[in-house]
Amino acid sequence: MSGEDTLRGYRGFVRRKLEEAGVRVWSMVRVTTSGATYEGILLPRSELGNGNHIVLKLKTGYNVGVKVTEETVIEEIGYSPGHYVLPEKKVEFKPGKPLVSMIGTGGTVASRLDYRTGAVIPAFTPQELFSAVPELEEICNLEMISLFEIFSEDMQPEYWVRIAEKVAEEINRGVDGVIIAHGTDTMHFTSAALSFMLKNLPVPVILVGSQRSSDRPSSDAAMNLISSALVAAKSDIAEVVVCMHGSSSDDYNIIHRGTRVRKMHTSRRDAFRTIGDIPLGVVAKGVIRMLRSDYKRRSEHRKVTVDSKLDPKVVLLYTYPGMQPDIVENVVNADYHGIVLAGTGLGHCPRAIIPSLKRAIKDGVAVAMTSQCLYGFVGMNVYERGRDLLSLGVIPCGNMLPETAYVKLIYVLGHTRDINEVREMMTHNMCGELTSGEPYNAYLILQGGLESAAEK
């Protein structure tokens, strides 16, 4: 088409590099940078994202962002013109409908397939998103923000801060809810981090993703987006939550508290589960049904703030038979400030690493204990090994999930290195990460009887 931008979304230095290499969107390219080589289709990208990256569709079907520097070598190895298949549907602001912001951090939770190239094209604007998922237009007025584009396994604590600050900015300008599009692998880390950092929330903040990309007939993307939009626009929740499929069918979504949720399957659409507790609610057939009453509710009188003081010098270590003390020694020698142990059973570890833990604590390293069982509480007064660890100064973390404890210790150490204050903060429930007990029907797949709840 005459006048068509052959490098849609690219600008500045990266655009010049692509032009110098003679490549266009839909070119098959080979990119060599920092000792790694990638081959894939150059995709169009959001103009609002990080301008230092290009987006490639790999042969595996995944999209990847590749940082471009002066040393990066880009060459075209083929070309097959694609067709941008996300028509922009005309969208008018509808007075009276809630205003929701959707912040993109990576992934293709809302997209369409270009069948000629096999490329999944993400929706970049509200017009494109409403074209991909037209049901959203009936739920809310939607504004989209592309914050950055990364794989969720590349998430860093500094990115949690950027997300939190953008969420607060959107809420304080008056939106009724915020949706965060996020890769699923580390979504539960980010939901925990935002739970600790976002103070005095007046509206819901929902993390959403898709286990299966939008080009697959079994994709969960559209339903997850619709349910998340309903929660953002119409629920009375004022917490950080995750909203994902509740079963392998398209019958309902679960609303999980951000500090009690975990990804429990590599590929199932209902991979996310509330662990050791009952989920906050379900979304079924366009209706939100709350399963519990002990959650924070909306209030137009609150103003959110961001508590972004973090100390990323924390490690999460799983204990195991044969674990050697040099693992802990290396952590201490590398000047880490905190260790979260995912211990066996009630919170145990091999005798071999106890001297190393003793040295770590003596050197001012905070050591906290969780259970790799995930369900249940650490009980370090029951057996001799647990009592030995307590006497060293290891902090018991109740039924806090290992990943949540890791995030919380990063947050706590950002505020204090005083071990007594660290102990007080780690053992004090801040936002649902610790509970006083576990309901009998909160174990494994029961999820508080969700099958029956979704049918009502």
Residues with active-site annotation: 108, 184-185, 263
Cα–Cα distance, 152 to 279 (Å, whole number): 23
Which residues, 6+ apart, have CB-to-CB distance to 420 below 8 Å?
none
Cα–Cα distance, 322 to 15 (Å, whole number): 52
Q: 43 with 52: CB under 8 angstroms? A: no
Which residues, 6+ apart, have CB-to-CB distance to 117 below 8 Å?
26, 41, 57, 80, 82
